[in-house]
């Protein structure tokens, strides 16, 4: 099930159970939005959006809509709140609970998610917050909606809003938040990559798809000859967590955290001369689907930002077919380790 299915389902009740005219007349907050035909049917002057993914946020903004990367920047109240659901339960509950702070009395909240990615629990979550929801289904998704007319369970709302609070996770020792990759654990692939890095890494380093900063923090802890490190992630929440987790190293090396698309980086300085080493654990899922394009995009992008004779160090699941694209863009490609279903690759730039 793709994100587009849930977004299409999100609009299904309008013209059926809900007044279709609301989409043109209401003041709307659209959470976890991406560009779609349904979005383009909403008036930009009436619609504000929340999106933490850099690529989607950029596309939506270029379509004429105001986009916030989180709720902190919103100072308005809305007649209608639309939520394109997410799979991670705590993150989903955070979005619903937070949305209630931005909806007018008697406003309408609508949420959709795939049946097998959180949709089946949406109605129960609405009820837990004190709402009286209706439910329908379309495109193998559940759509739940309610008028905010009664008393909200403020204790439950505040409890769920804490799921969006950045906090140190004792089990891993890092600041993190539900919703980002491997948010409450050390990723096995990343730990295997670190174990197989060379004894000496120095110069200017980049971490493509940095997440909450596990790889970057470990590099700064173990390699004292690093001059600078640049951490890039398309998720604004990961960008913030990484910034917090490596802030203590400020002064030992130049640190730069960027909210950007690692496959098409636009925020490096114009006079940037490239990196000596790039490390990466690239994603290979888009929504629920395997996407080789993501990892291949990371690989191609890294080749544009390495210095001559620079090194790419990456981990990938053993079955992912990255070797062909690596050989196209790098002078040499070597699989230096294979363990627990992962492969570690070192590619040297031409």
Residues of the chain above pLDDT 70, percent: 97
What is the band of 293 on the pLDDT scale with cuts at 50, 70, 90? Answer: confident
Asked whether residue 3 carries a pLDDT value surpassing 70, the answer given is: no
Q: Coil, strand or helix: which one is 37?
A: helix
| Strand residues in the chain grouped as ranges (E) | 28-31, 47-50, 66-68, 78-84, 103-114, 134-138, 141-147, 167-169, 174-176, 203-208, 226-233, 254-259, 275-280, 285-286, 289-290, 306-317, 330-339, 342-349
Q: Tell me the pLDDT of the chain averaged across its residues.
A: 93
Mean pLDDT value of segment 177-187: 95
Residues 6+ apart with CB under 8 A from 10: 38, 82, 83, 84, 110, 111, 112, 143
The mean pLDDT value for 6-34 works out to 94
Check whether 286 has a pLDDT greater than 60: no
Please count the residues of the chain.
350
User: In the predicted model, is pLDDT for residue 347 greater than 60?
Assistant: yes
Residue 287 has pLDDT above 60, yes or no: no
pTM score: 0.93
* pLDDT score recorded for residue 349: 85
Spell out where 177-304 has E strands. 203-208, 226-233, 254-259, 275-280, 285-286, 289-290
Give yes or no for residue 266 having a pLDDT over 90: yes
The model's pLDDT over 187-222, given as tens digits with 9 standing for 90+, comes to 999 999 999 999 999 999 999 999 999 999 999 999
pLDDT given at position 109: 97
CA 43 to CA 220: how far, in whole Å? 47
Question: What's the pLDDT tens digit per position in 132-150?
Answer: 999 999 999 999 999 998 8
Q: Which domains does the chain have, with CATH numbers?
A: 3-164 (3.40.50.150), 167-349 (3.40.50.150)
pLDDT at 285 over 90: no
Q: What are phi and psi of 273, to 5 degrees?
A: -100, 5
Q: Which of 141, 126, 130, 27 is nearest to 84 (CA)?
A: 141
């Amino acid at each position: 099930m793709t994100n587009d299915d849930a977004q299409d389902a999100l609009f299904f009740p309008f013209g059926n159970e809900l007044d279709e005219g609301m989409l043109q007349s209401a003041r709307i907050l659209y959470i976890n939005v991406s560009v779609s035909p349904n979005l383009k049917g909403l008036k930009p002057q009436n619609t504000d959006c929340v999106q933490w993914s850099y690529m989607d946020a950029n596309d939506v903004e270029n379509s004429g809509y105001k986009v916030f990367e989180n709720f902190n920047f919103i100072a308005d109240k809305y007649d209608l709140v639309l939520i394109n659901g997410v799979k991670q339960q705590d993150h989903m509950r955070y979005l619903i609970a937070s949305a209630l702070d931005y909806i007018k009395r008697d406003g309408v909240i609508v949420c959709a998610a795939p049946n097998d990615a959180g949709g089946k629990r949406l109605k129960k979550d609405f009820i837990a917050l004190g709402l009286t929801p209706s439910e329908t289904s379309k495109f193998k998704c559940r759509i739940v909606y309610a008028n905010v007319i009664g008393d909200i369970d403020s204790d439950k709302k505040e409890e769920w809003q804490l799921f969006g609070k950045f906090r140190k996770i004792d089990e891993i020792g890092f600041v993190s938040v539900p919703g980002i990759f491997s948010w409450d654990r050390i990723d096995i692939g990343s730990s295997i990559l670190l174990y197989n890095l060379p004894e000496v890494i120095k110069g200017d380093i980049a971490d493509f798809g940095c997440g909450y900063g596990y790889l970057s923090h470990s590099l700064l802890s173990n390699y004292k000859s690093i001059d600078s490190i640049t951490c890039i992630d398309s998720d604004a929440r990961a960008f913030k967590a990484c910034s917090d987790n490596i802030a203590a190293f400020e002064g030992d090396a130049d640190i730069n955290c960027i909210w950007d698309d690692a496959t098409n980086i636009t925020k490096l300085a114009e006079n940037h001369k490239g990196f000596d080493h790039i490390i990466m654990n690239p994603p290979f899922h888009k929504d629920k689907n395997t996407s080789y394009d993501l990892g291949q995009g990371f690989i191609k992008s890294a080749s544009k930002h390495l210095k001559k004779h620079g090194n790419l160090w990456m981990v990938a699941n053993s079955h992912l077919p990255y070797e062909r694209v690596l050989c196209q863009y790098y002078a040499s490609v070597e699989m230096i380790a294979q363990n627990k279903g992962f492969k570690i690759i070192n590619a040297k730039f031409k």
